[in-house]
Structure formats: C-alpha cells, structure tokens
Amino acid sequence: MEREILHVDMDAFFASVEELDDPSLRGRPVLVGGASRRGVVAAASYAARRFGARSAMPMAEAIRRCPDAVVVAPRRERYAEVSAAVFAIFRRYTPLVEGLSFDEAFLDVTASRSLFGDGTSIARRIKAEIRGEIGLTASAGVAPCKFAAKIASDLEKPDGLVVVEGDVAAFLAPLALERMWGVGPKAAARLRAAGFATIGDLARADSRRLEQLMGESWAPHVQGLARGLDERPVDPDREAVSIGAEETYDRDVVTRRGLELCLLDHAGRVAQRLVHEGLAGDVVVVKLKYADFTLRTRRTTLPDPVADTDSIYGAARALLSRFDLAASRDAVRPVRLVGVTVAGLVAEPAEGTLSLFAEERSPERGRKLEEVVSKIADRFGGAGVTRAALLERGGNPRR
C-alpha cells in the first residue's frame, strides 16, 4: 500500500506568534531576535521578507534592508506553548508524528484514512483547525515519502497546500537543486559549475561523476532522493525537538575560561527549560562559530537522560577538547557564537520513581535544585538566581 505522509510547517512561526499576541504588529515588518550589534534574526514576518530580511541573517543587516521593522525579543516559552497546541492538533489524526522543530513535523496518516479521509483532506482539516483554534497559518505538503512532502510544503508558502500525486521523481525533476536535502550552498555552487541545475539533473547524472562532485558517502544518498526513493519511516521517537541556547557575542570569546563560562550560562538556561517542560535528554551538543564564520558542532551521548546544569555543563565542557581550538594554552581561536543543545528528549520520570538514596551530586539531586531555581526564576523574571561562576563577571558571560 502506498504511504501517505504529511509535512506541516507553520508560516514564519515566531513572528506570527508575535503578531497574534500583539495585533498592532499585524502586517508590519516584524523581526524576532536580539537587537544587539551582533544579534541574529530568529524569524522575519512576510512583510519584512519583502524587504529582503531573512531568518539567520545578522540583525544589523536585516534592519539596514528594512529600516521600519519592529524588532521583538524572542519569547521562547510562549512559542513552546503554541507549539504544544499545534502538535496536539497533529496527534488528533495519527500517533505517528515526528517533530523536526517547534513548528514543523512529519505525519504518517496512511492508517488514518479510513477514519478521516485521504491525506489531502487531513491536511485541510489540520490547517483549518490551526487557523480556527490558534489563529495561525501553516503550510502542508502531502506525498508518498518524507522528502517530497517536505519540499511540497515549502512550495506555496504561506498558507500553502501542495499534493504530490503519483510519480515523485517527475514532481521533483524540474525543481532547483538547491532544494535538495544534503546539498548546502557550497555543494550547490560546485554542482552548478559542473552544469547541474535541477533535481532531475541529479537523478539522471552519471553516479561516478556525482561521487566525484559530492563525495562517495553523500552522492548515492542524494541521487536516491532525487529519484524519489525515500523509504524512511516517520519515527515518532526520533530525537524530536531539542532544547538549546545559543548566543552571538558582541565581542569574540578568546579564552578557554571565557568559553567555559558561556557553556555554563547556556547549560543553566537549557536545564531550566528542560525542567519547565518536564523533559530530560541524553544527547549534549556544543556548537561554536568561529570569527571567520566556520561552524563546528560536537555531540556526545550520556548513559542516562539529564536535566540539570551540572551534568549538561560537564558534558559540554568535555566536548570542548574535541574542537580544534588551537592558539595557545589559554588563548583560543576567536569564537563569535556559542551554543549548547540537549536532544534525545524523554519525559522525566514522575517524582516517586526517583531513588531515595541518590548520591549527593547525582543528576536527580541536580534536577531538584534546578526545579527550585526554575521556580524562583519564573517568579522573578529570570533575574532571581545566578550561579556563582557567572557572578565573577557581573553575570554577563561575554568574555
């Protein structure tokens, strides 16, 4: 039986939530993100995109392109709340929901059709419920595989619905190769220079030639996708939504101690959010962007899920040794962005299942502490508690 997969993606999610909550913003160019000199745009409303502002663009550049933009600081907790409402709507139609981020997911609705109608009807109903109950718009793609569904949802944004019927390869063939998964800007430029322009060109390419251009590990995978071959199941248990904190600093971080303090700051924020959402995770990821904009990530898997600052910071600090930080013993290659993410999320066990004889500094104990910190932070708007190491620098982990 042919599968039916939906990819549903909220339109300009963070910016749309801001417009929802503050009607005076509606239709105006809205940029969500930090307003500092090196802030980055987390989301741009469609009105702002008309001026060329984009998410992930430096805030200064976005404001230069769109001087009338309203800059709004991100409210992650509010986005998490709306995200939960959106995912609850997804789960009305199938338990097979694989979240890719706060605002997009794959849904396998193959077995739901006898109850709710075909994939297209389900996509319409989900879009209508998101609009009616939450007040936001989403775009959806419907296809026999994940890859095509994901591409389809993006084709008619915002408020789009694109259905891929029949021949997936024929649907993909005319599309620009930049839409391929696994083809970044550099690979795209190399492929363009070699005369490739569309996904169809990749599907038809001589496989040896594609290997020379893209590497032996990627080429067969990408060519398979380009030919519409994508058997990957929708996996509801996949390391769905991760929780992370990152910051681009006004001045580069140039010492190891500085990096450690950034990691501690982020670990604390991530721990607070994990506790707030009743989650723990066993994958810790550290991301560094160097002053020359090279981006590197390192990840590690812990024996057990954790949700406390000490465990997350410990893992993140250990990961530092796996970066090529060079320079000298104390000085490091200048870093402009530091991020810490926890993935592999699971719901934290209920109170009663925690060991009564947990060691002094066990993750459980750390989590209890975090719970208290989180409550105090909630009450005092986040300024209530600062860990000792951060106080060294007035709580401002810049260097």
Phi/psi for 198 (5° steps) reads: -120, 170
CB of 20 to Mg ion, least distance (A): 15
Long-range contacts of 62-71 (CB under 8 A, 24+ apart): 62/31, 62/33, 63/31, 66/29, 66/31, 68/28, 68/29, 69/28, 69/29, 69/30, 69/31, 70/25, 70/28, 70/29, 70/30, 70/31, 71/31, 71/32, 71/33, 71/35
- DSSP 8-state secondary structure symbol assigned to residue 205: S
| 10 vs 286 by CB, closer to Mg ion | 10
Q: What percent of the residues of the chain are helix, what percent strand, and what percent coil, each to the nearest 5?
A: 40, 25, 35
Q: How far apart are CA 89 and CA 94, in angstroms?
A: 10
- The reply to whether 41 sits near Mg ion by the rule CB under 5 A is no
Residue 211 bears catalytic tag: no
Q: Does the N-terminal peptide bond of residue 158 adopt cis geometry, omega within 30 degrees of 0?
A: yes
Select the span of 2-10, 159-167, 177-185, 244-252 touching Mg ion (CB under 5 A).
2-10
CB of 98 to Mg ion, least distance (A): 15
CB of 49 to Mg ion, least distance (A): 13
Select the span of 5-13, 52-60, 61-69, 285-293 touching Mg ion (CB under 5 A).
5-13
Q: How far apart are CA 395 and CA 385, in angstroms?
A: 10
| 75 vs 221 by CB, closer to Mg ion | 75
| 86 vs 302 by CB, closer to Mg ion | 86
Matching residue, tokens 């800059």? 71
CB of 82 to Mg ion, least distance (A): 12
Q: How far apart are CA 389 and CA 395, in angstroms?
A: 8
Q: Per the residue annotation, which of 18, 19, 98, 104 is the catalytic one? A: 104
Select the span of 64-72, 95-103, 117-125, 258-266 touching Mg ion (CB under 5 A).
95-103
Cβ–Cβ under 8 Å, residues 108 and 90:
no
Site string for Mg ion, 340-369 (x = CB under 5 A): ------------------------------
CB of 150 to Mg ion, least distance (A): 11
Site string for Mg ion, 11-30 (x = CB under 5 A): --x-----------------
Q: How far apart are CA 46 and CA 330, in angstroms?
A: 45
Helix (H) or strand (E) holding 88: helix 76-91
Select the span of 1-9, 164-172, 246-254, 318-326 touching Mg ion (CB under 5 A).
1-9
Q: Minimal CA–CA distance to 196: which of 218, 220, 226?
A: 226
| 10 vs 259 by CB, closer to Mg ion | 10
For Mg ion, the binding residues in 98-157 under the rule CB under 5 A are 103
Q: Tell me, by CB under 5 A, how many residues bind Mg ion.
A: 4
Structure tokens at 382: 């986040």
Helix (H) or strand (E) holding 224: helix 218-226
CB of 9 to Mg ion, least distance (A): 4
Of these, 3, 5, 6, 9, which contacts Mg ion (CB under 5 A)? 9
Select the span of 9-17, 50-58, 73-81, 309-317 touching Mg ion (CB under 5 A).
9-17
| 143 vs 191 by CB, closer to Mg ion | 143
Q: Which residues bind Mg ion (CB under 5 A)?
A: 9-10, 13, 103
As annotated, the active-site residues are 104
